[in-house]
Amino acid sequence: MDPETHKEIVEIKKEVKELRQAQDAEFQFNREKYENLIIEAINDDIRTAEILLLVDGFRSAKEIEKLTNTPQKTCWRKLDRLVSKDIIYPLEKSKKGSPIYQKQRWFIKLRLEDFIRNRYFKDVPINATR
């Protein structure tokens, strides 16, 4: 690789890092907005909260459905709601055709899993929410 290309790559990486830091600061500044988005999406439905906690970028919708003992139509409808509220997004389909979902970056950076556990599962043992 020639020195100019290397220098450009280093600059681009630096810019991306700065953008992410600014975005992370914005997430923290607007934390309440994101918490309210979660509250609205879950709408006091414990099953939706449980499904959201199981989204991890590896489990398919079919696996989440089995873990929560939720009928397929109900589970997929709740996943669709979370997608429509921009809390999760589809990555790809598993080998068996079931979609795999990932939480948004802001959800992960703000550690909103803890928020959900404290709000909806305060009296439930940790292992019960997977």
User: 36 lies in which domain range?
Assistant: 3-129
Does the pTM exceed 0.85? Answer: no
Residue ranges of alpha helices (H) inside the chain are 3-29, 31-42, 46-54, 61-68, 72-84, 105-109, 112-120
Total domains in the chain come to 1
What is the reported pLDDT for 124? 65
What is the reported pLDDT for 102? 96
Give the pLDDT means over successive 10-residue stretches in the chain (130 positions).
83 88 88 96 95 94 94 95 96 83 96 94 61
Q: Which residue has the tokens 């020639």?
A: 2
CA distance 114 to 111: 6
Q: Which CATH number belongs to the domain containing residue 36 in this structure?
A: 1.10.10.10
What is the reported pLDDT for 92? 81
What is the reported pLDDT for 21? 87
